[in-house]
Amino acid sequence: MSGWIGADEAARRLGVKAATLYSYVSRGVLTRRKAPDGHSVFDPAEIDRLARRGRPRRQPGGTELVIESAVTMLGEDRHYYRGRDAIGLADAWRLEQVAVWLWTGLEPPSEPSNESASEPSAEPAVESVTDLSAGPSAGASGAVARPAVRGARKRASGVPAAEVEAWAAGAEAVAAAREAQRGLASAVLPLERLQVIVTALAVADPVRLNLEPAAVARVGQGLVAGMVDALPARDGFGEPDTPYVVVGPGVLARDRTVHGRLWRKFAGDGADERLADALRFAMVLLADHELASSTLAARVAASVRADPYAVVLAGLGVTSGALHGGAALGVESLFGEIGAASRASYAMGERLRRGERIPGFGHAVYRAGDARGEALLERVRRAVPDHPRLAVAEAMLDEARRIRLPAMNVDFALGLLTHLAGMPRGAAEAIFGIARTVGWLAHAMEEYARPTRLRLRAAYTGPLD
């Protein structure tokens, strides 16, 4: 590889940042090789040709827009949150911790705080109650229960460290969001409910137009918490879910984690609790994915100073598209069609005969395979290795290889997770939307800090007078 140049020199010659350079690699615009020392190297002739041609704007199947961002980088088969492998972070982090990292760029608390409490439990066998989070109780009103911060260290974004640890929505705001759904039919999908919920939470927040980083982070905490808490449980609206889970012999814990609360909303009767950690893993992976279609919509909204709730509504609207978050809904439907592993080949073949795409396979960026999907699939396999419906998924993957479909993607693994957990139809795209809210707000913070708005131009092709 004599004569090949390193990433820094390649980026300098192109006049781009390293993140943009690697996005070119992931899209097949540039060829990358590994030097003996493990570093990436590039062909200088190819770099020079690209420099003369200008930044790539188009790719097969769509138009590429380049926006500089420090939030997420796409690699060959995976993504990186502020330079750190998202799959590696998902091994140990919760969505709340990823939000700290994406919103502030500084290390979040490594574990949720534990504090003893002496409140009695209704369960006679319980000897103690441990609070899994340092978050405050929900306030009486407003979309966000704003914590009192004493001596909080300021993070780089201006967000106090203590404030990014607490995730709670105001009781009145959640009640209003739940009431706004009363007239909806039971068949309304969870993602559609989230659009109603976010609108109700926005109306309940009189200071939502404060676009300072600390204010946006507080809104984000309350917004994500409110989206989860305002969703109906499987048996309807009833009383709020009991926030207690058994964590050991004679020990009951109050779980305030986002994934724990969402698990109790969506998991079916008899669902294997081991899949709750797979849900946590999935939400970390889904928190952001660079300039996906919904994120571009969110950034455009933020660039004209739409408030954080409107930013999230823009993202949710695009997420429903069948080629974006709605792809996971298609995977759920496919699993529902296949009653037994022996029917996988027939059901997938029928889709192809009808001229339909088979959801859960192929990716516009990860042409050689989506490592996010592989990681989540393996997490699900390890959690419930004896689940009888796993055989259906394996048969589908075997058939996909036989008929030479593109590699499986994260939508397949997410749809499998919701299917095995007995979650309601549409749970997968709702999980996507709730988790991606964290990323949309990280991108919104970048746009709020910029003086200009995003204004795309059209190449007019219509008639002339």
Q: How many residues does the chain have?
A: 465
What pLDDT shows up at residue 413?
97
For the cut 80, the answer to whether the pLDDT of residue 245 exceeds it is: no
Q: What's the rounded Cα separation, in Å, for the pair 25 and 405?
A: 23
CB 157 within 8 A of CB 104: yes
Dump pLDDT digits (tens) for 73-125.
998 899 999 999 999 999 999 999 999 999 999 998 765 433 333 333 333 32
What pLDDT shows up at residue 117?
31
CB-based burial, 208-219: b 16+ in 10 Å, e otherwise: beebebbbbbbb
Write down the mean pLDDT value for the chain: 82
DSSP string, 297-359: HHHHHHHTT--HHHHHHHHHHHHTSTTTTTHHHHHHHHHHH--SGGGHHHHHHHHHHTT---T
Give the ranges where 354-426 is alpha helix by DSSP (H): 371-383, 390-402, 410-420
Q: What's the rounded Cα separation, in Å, for the pair 411 and 426?
A: 12
For the cut 90, the answer to whether the pLDDT of residue 456 exceeds it is: no
Over range 381-408, report the average pLDDT: 96
DSSP string, 22-79: HHHHHTTSS-EEE-TTS-EEE-HHHHHHHHHH-S--EETTEE------SSEEE-SSSE
Q: What's the rounded Cα separation, in Å, for the pair 389 and 341?
A: 8
Dump pLDDT digits (tens) for 317-357.
999 887 777 788 999 999 999 989 999 999 999 999 999 99
What pLDDT shows up at residue 56?
52
CA dihedral 298, 300, 304, 308 (to 10 degrees): 0
At residue 260 the predicted structure's pLDDT band, cuts being 50, 70 and 90, is very high
At residue 54 the predicted structure's pLDDT band, cuts being 50, 70 and 90, is low
CB 285 within 8 A of CB 372: yes
For the cut 80, the answer to whether the pLDDT of residue 64 exceeds it is: no
**3-state class (DSSP) for residue 119:** coil
Q: What's the rounded Cα separation, in Å, for the pair 217 and 125?
A: 39
Tell which residue, 69, 122, 165, has the closest CA to residue 444.
69
Over range 219-246, report the average pLDDT: 75
Q: What's the rounded Cα separation, in Å, for the pair 438 and 460?
A: 36
Q: What's the rounded Cα separation, in Å, for the pair 163 and 146?
A: 8
For the cut 90, the answer to whether the pLDDT of residue 229 exceeds it is: yes
What pLDDT shows up at residue 18?
83
Q: What's the rounded Cα separation, in Å, for the pair 456 and 178?
A: 37
Give the ranges where 144-248 is alpha helix by DSSP (H): 171-179, 190-203, 213-230
What pLDDT shows up at residue 236?
63
Q: Which tokens sit at 258?
A: 């986002």
For the cut 70, the answer to whether the pLDDT of residue 161 exceeds it is: no
CATH architecture type of domain 5-66 = Orthogonal Bundle (1.10)
What pLDDT shows up at residue 14?
86
Q: CB burial class (10 A; 0-12, 13-18, 19+) of residue 286?
A: buried
For the cut 90, the answer to whether the pLDDT of residue 436 exceeds it is: yes
